[in-house]
């Protein structure tokens, strides 16, 4: 049977590279910074321009109406994932880094069919690292196969957690309390690159054992989820239940033992879902 989505996968890599070139050209220029959900949730003209370039290129290639799009900058209210072939795009993952010149910024492009992620591409453009993975076909960085670390003992691990863009004191308290408990297990270290997509690729390459966050969006983690799974890792809800792309909660890890130990410490808090659905229970599989 012909490989229906291979062409789309290869094209996504091309488009991510083109988008990354624009980001690299713009990063040193004077930029106007606007805010979105809070005063620390930043957006620039480059985010909007790069998203237009990506969606425009995909529409030119595959037709105006063939696919649906969920893009960070063009999806204003709730995004719905249907059975239709759908691109899920973060044009500049790590906008705060981009604004400050902190050297981790990624283009994240995923593709889902019948609500299942088919492939994911993350271009960490300032490092020139092109991560990609397709269901059942392995994960790669700059065309070299990648795989997660084989560390199962949490006391020998590095864990990534981010604090996101919500500064509500009660939420910040839970985030830092979770980080403190994990740090004191103890683990070798806590890290964070400032881009969820890159964080997931760091799990996929074995540089760290896990990354979790509550408050991320589907466009931050869709591509990384395929890359982590294809590199041999797992992607779950922060409760240990199945990963739900629209839930804004995600834990990726190299191994179940590491995931289980982290889940024990996570102080979960409520965030509105990306699809606007009120509340879904996340049964733990552990």
Q: Which residues bind ligand IPD (CB under 6 A)?
A: 72, 90, 93-95, 162, 164-165, 194-196, 213, 215-216, 220
Return the number of the residue (36 or 260) whose C-beta is nearest ligand IPD: 36
Strand pairing class (42-44; 33-35): antiparallel
C-alpha dist (Å) from residue 26 to 21, 31, 240 = 9, 8, 40
90 is in an annotated binding site: yes
Rounded CA-CA distance 219/72 in Å is 6
The minimum distance between CB 34 and ligand IPD, in angstroms, equals 12
- Location of structure tokens 């979790």: 212
The minimum distance between CB 192 and ligand IPD, in angstroms, equals 7
SS3 label, residue 129: strand
Please name which of 247, 256, 242 lies closest in space to residue 213, comparing C-alpha atoms: 247
Contacts of 150 (CB under 8 A, 6+ apart): 206, 254, 255
The minimum distance between CB 162 and ligand IPD, in angstroms, equals 3
Return the number of the residue (51 or 265) whose C-beta is nearest ligand IPD: 51
Return the number of the residue (162 or 244) whose C-beta is nearest ligand IPD: 162
Helices and strands per DSSP (H, E), number in the chain: 7, 14
Rounded CA-CA distance 137/114 in Å is 19
Rounded CA-CA distance 80/75 in Å is 10
The minimum distance between CB 8 and ligand IPD, in angstroms, equals 23
274 is in an annotated binding site: no
The minimum distance between CB 257 and ligand IPD, in angstroms, equals 25
Half-sphere exposure of 87 (CA within 13 A, CB side): 32
162 is in an annotated binding site: no
SS3 label, residue 121: strand
The minimum distance between CB 144 and ligand IPD, in angstroms, equals 24
Strand pairing class (210-214; 158-161): parallel
275 is in an annotated binding site: no
Return the number of the residue (257 or 267) whose C-beta is nearest ligand IPD: 267
Alpha helices in the chain (DSSP H): 6-26, 45-62, 95-100, 169-183, 196-205, 218-230, 256-265
Return the number of the residue (194 or 241) whose C-beta is nearest ligand IPD: 194
The minimum distance between CB 108 and ligand IPD, in angstroms, equals 8
Q: Which residues are annotated as a binding site for Mg(2+)?
A: 72, 90, 93, 220
Q: Which residues are annotated as a binding site?
A: 72, 90, 93, 220
């Amino acid at each position: 049977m012909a490989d229906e989505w291979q062409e789309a996968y290869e094209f996504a890599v091309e488009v991510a590279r083109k988008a990354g070139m624009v980001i690299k050209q713009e990063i040193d220029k004077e930029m106007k910074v606007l805010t979105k959900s809070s005063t620390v949730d930043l957006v620039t003209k480059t985010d909007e321009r790069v998203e237009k370039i990506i969606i425009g290129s995909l529409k030119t290639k595959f037709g105006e109406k063939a696919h649906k799009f969920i893009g960070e900058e063009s999806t204003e209210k709730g995004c719905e994932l249907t059975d239709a072939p759908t691109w899920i795009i973060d044009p500049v993952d790590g906008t705060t880094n981009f604004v400050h010149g902190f050297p981790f910024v990624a283009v994240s492009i995923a593709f889902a069919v019948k609500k299942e992620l088919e492939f994911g591409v993350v271009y960490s453009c300032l490092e020139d690292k092109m991560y990609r993975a397709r269901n059942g076909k392995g994960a790669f960085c700059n065309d070299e196969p990648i795989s997660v670390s084989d560390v199962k003992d949490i006391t020998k691990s590095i864990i990534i957690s981010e604090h996101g863009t919500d500064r509500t004191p009660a939420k910040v308290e839970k985030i830092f309390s979770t980080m403190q408990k994990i740090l004191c297990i103890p683990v070798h270290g806590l890290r964070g690159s400032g881009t969820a997509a890159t964080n997931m690729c760091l799990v996929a390459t074995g540089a760290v054992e896990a990354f979790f966050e509550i408050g991320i969006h589907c466009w931050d983690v869709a591509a990384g989820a395929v890359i982590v799974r294809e590199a041999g890792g797992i992607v779950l809800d922060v409760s240990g239940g199945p990963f739900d792309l629209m839930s804004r909660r995600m834990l990726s890890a190299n191994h179940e033992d590491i995931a289980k130990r982290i889940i024990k410490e996570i102080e979960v808090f409520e965030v509105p879902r990306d699809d606007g659905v009120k509340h879904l229970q996340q049964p733990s599989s552990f």
